Amino acid sequence: MDCLFCKIINREIPADIVHEDDEVLAFNDINPQAPTHVVIVPKRHIATLNDIEEDDLALVGRLQYTAARLAKERGFADDGYRVVMNCNDQGGQTVYHIHMHLMGGRRFTWPAG
Ligand code: 5GP
Ligand code: ZN
Protein backbone atom coordinates (compact mmCIF):
# COMPACT_ATOMS: atom_id res chain seq x y z
CA MET A 1 0.00 0.00 0.00
CA ASP A 2 1.34 3.41 -0.93
CA CYS A 3 0.97 5.00 2.49
CA LEU A 4 3.78 7.00 4.08
CA PHE A 5 2.87 6.09 7.65
CA CYS A 6 2.47 2.38 6.80
CA LYS A 7 5.98 2.55 5.37
CA ILE A 8 7.26 4.08 8.62
CA ILE A 9 5.41 1.37 10.60
CA ASN A 10 6.98 -1.31 8.39
CA ARG A 11 10.44 0.28 8.73
CA GLU A 12 10.63 0.94 4.99
CA ILE A 13 11.18 4.66 5.73
CA PRO A 14 13.18 5.80 8.76
CA ALA A 15 11.61 7.81 11.54
CA ASP A 16 12.61 8.95 15.01
CA ILE A 17 10.39 6.54 16.97
CA VAL A 18 9.54 7.57 20.53
CA HIS A 19 6.96 4.92 21.47
CA GLU A 20 5.84 1.55 20.18
CA ASP A 21 3.43 -1.09 21.39
CA ASP A 22 1.37 -3.80 19.70
CA GLU A 23 -1.16 -1.35 18.30
CA VAL A 24 0.43 2.08 18.14
CA LEU A 25 3.59 3.78 16.89
CA ALA A 26 4.68 7.32 17.78
CA PHE A 27 7.48 9.27 16.11
CA ASN A 28 8.77 12.82 15.91
CA ASP A 29 7.16 14.97 13.25
CA ILE A 30 9.60 15.84 10.45
CA ASN A 31 8.42 19.47 10.50
CA PRO A 32 7.87 20.20 14.20
CA GLN A 33 5.50 22.99 15.20
CA ALA A 34 6.44 22.89 18.88
CA PRO A 35 9.37 21.74 21.07
CA THR A 36 7.57 18.38 21.27
CA HIS A 37 5.66 17.43 18.12
CA VAL A 38 4.96 13.73 18.00
CA VAL A 39 2.75 11.93 15.49
CA ILE A 40 0.86 8.98 17.01
CA VAL A 41 -0.55 6.42 14.57
CA PRO A 42 -2.40 3.12 14.78
CA LYS A 43 -0.38 0.31 13.22
CA ARG A 44 -3.47 -0.73 11.29
CA HIS A 45 -4.19 1.48 8.28
CA ILE A 46 -7.31 3.63 8.63
CA ALA A 47 -7.41 6.43 6.06
CA THR A 48 -9.44 9.16 7.78
CA LEU A 49 -11.46 9.81 10.92
CA ASN A 50 -14.54 9.09 8.79
CA ASP A 51 -13.39 5.50 8.35
CA ILE A 52 -13.30 4.66 12.07
CA GLU A 53 -15.72 1.87 12.93
CA GLU A 54 -17.18 0.61 16.18
CA ASP A 55 -14.44 -2.03 16.48
CA ASP A 56 -11.77 0.69 16.34
CA LEU A 57 -12.89 2.65 19.39
CA ALA A 58 -10.36 1.15 21.79
CA LEU A 59 -7.61 1.73 19.25
CA VAL A 60 -8.52 5.40 18.89
CA GLY A 61 -8.61 5.69 22.67
CA ARG A 62 -5.10 4.26 22.75
CA LEU A 63 -3.89 7.16 20.58
CA GLN A 64 -5.20 9.61 23.18
CA TYR A 65 -3.83 7.53 26.04
CA THR A 66 -0.40 7.45 24.38
CA ALA A 67 -0.45 11.23 23.94
CA ALA A 68 -1.17 11.76 27.63
CA ARG A 69 1.52 9.28 28.66
CA LEU A 70 4.13 10.99 26.50
CA ALA A 71 3.08 14.40 27.85
CA LYS A 72 3.53 13.13 31.41
CA GLU A 73 6.90 11.54 30.59
CA ARG A 74 8.11 14.82 29.12
CA GLY A 75 6.90 16.86 32.06
CA PHE A 76 4.43 19.20 30.35
CA ALA A 77 1.20 17.35 31.11
CA ASP A 78 0.25 19.69 33.93
CA ASP A 79 1.28 22.85 32.08
CA GLY A 80 -0.84 21.73 29.14
CA TYR A 81 -0.49 20.65 25.58
CA ARG A 82 -2.44 20.24 22.38
CA VAL A 83 -3.64 17.17 20.49
CA VAL A 84 -4.98 17.53 16.95
CA MET A 85 -6.46 15.15 14.41
CA ASN A 86 -6.98 16.64 10.96
CA CYS A 87 -9.62 15.15 8.66
CA ASN A 88 -9.61 15.47 4.88
CA ASP A 89 -8.63 18.45 2.76
CA GLN A 90 -10.33 21.33 4.54
CA GLY A 91 -9.26 19.93 7.89
CA GLY A 92 -5.63 20.07 6.80
CA GLN A 93 -4.99 16.34 6.49
CA THR A 94 -2.01 15.61 4.23
CA VAL A 95 -1.23 11.98 5.14
CA TYR A 96 -4.21 9.67 4.72
CA HIS A 97 -3.52 7.33 7.63
CA ILE A 98 -5.16 8.61 10.79
CA HIS A 99 -2.82 10.18 13.28
CA MET A 100 -2.87 12.29 16.39
CA HIS A 101 -0.48 15.22 16.67
CA LEU A 102 0.84 15.73 20.19
CA MET A 103 2.33 19.20 20.57
CA GLY A 104 3.79 20.54 23.79
CA GLY A 105 6.45 22.69 25.34
CA ARG A 106 4.99 26.05 24.36
CA ARG A 107 1.75 28.03 24.72
CA PHE A 108 -0.87 27.56 22.02
CA THR A 109 -3.51 29.97 20.85
CA TRP A 110 -7.05 29.15 19.78
CA PRO A 111 -8.36 28.64 17.13
CA ALA A 112 -5.10 29.06 15.18
CA GLY A 113 -1.47 28.29 15.97
P1 5GP B 1 -1.47 16.09 8.67
O2 5GP B 1 -1.20 17.34 7.90
O3 5GP B 1 -1.89 14.95 7.74
O4 5GP B 1 -2.40 16.24 9.83
O5 5GP B 1 -0.10 15.67 9.34
C6 5GP B 1 0.91 14.98 8.68
C7 5GP B 1 2.18 15.25 9.43
O8 5GP B 1 3.15 14.32 9.01
C9 5GP B 1 2.75 16.64 9.18
O10 5GP B 1 2.87 17.34 10.42
C11 5GP B 1 4.11 16.38 8.53
O12 5GP B 1 5.12 17.27 8.96
C13 5GP B 1 4.40 14.95 8.97
N14 5GP B 1 5.22 14.22 8.02
C15 5GP B 1 5.08 14.21 6.67
N16 5GP B 1 6.00 13.41 6.11
C17 5GP B 1 6.73 12.88 7.14
C18 5GP B 1 7.85 11.98 7.19
O19 5GP B 1 8.33 11.46 6.19
N20 5GP B 1 8.34 11.69 8.43
C21 5GP B 1 7.81 12.23 9.55
N22 5GP B 1 8.37 11.90 10.72
N23 5GP B 1 6.76 13.08 9.54
C24 5GP B 1 6.23 13.41 8.35
ZN1 ZN C 1 -1.25 3.59 6.23
- In the reported structure, the alpha carbon of residue 57 is separated from the centroid of ligand 2 by a whole-number distance in angstroms of 18
Q: In 1-113, which residue ranges form alpha helices assigned H by DSSP?
A: 4-9, 57-74, 88-91
* Mean pLDDT by groups of 10 residues along the chain of 113 residues: 96 98 98 98 98 97 98 98 98 98 97 80
**Which atom of ligand 1 lies nearest, measured to the CA of 33?**
10
| Best CA proximity match to 100, nearest among 72, 60, 51, 69 | 60
Residue nearest to atom 12 of ligand 1 (CA): 31
**Annotation says 97 is catalytic:** no
Domain boundaries, the chain: 4-104
Residue 70 CB partners (closer than 8 Å, separation 6+): 18, 19, 26, 36, 38, 40, 102
- In the reported structure, the alpha carbon of residue 13 is separated from the centroid of ligand 2 by a whole-number distance in angstroms of 12
Question: pTM value?
Answer: 0.97
pLDDT of residue 33: 97
**Pocket of ligand 1, candidates 12, 30, 46: which has the most ligand atoms within 8 Å of its Cβ, to mutate?**
30
Residue type, 86: N
- Report ipTM for this prediction: 0.99
**Which atom of ligand 1 lies nearest, measured to the CA of 91?**
4
pLDDT of residue 112: 79
Beta-bridge mates of residue 25: 20, 41
pLDDT of residue 7: 98
CATH class of 4-104: alpha beta
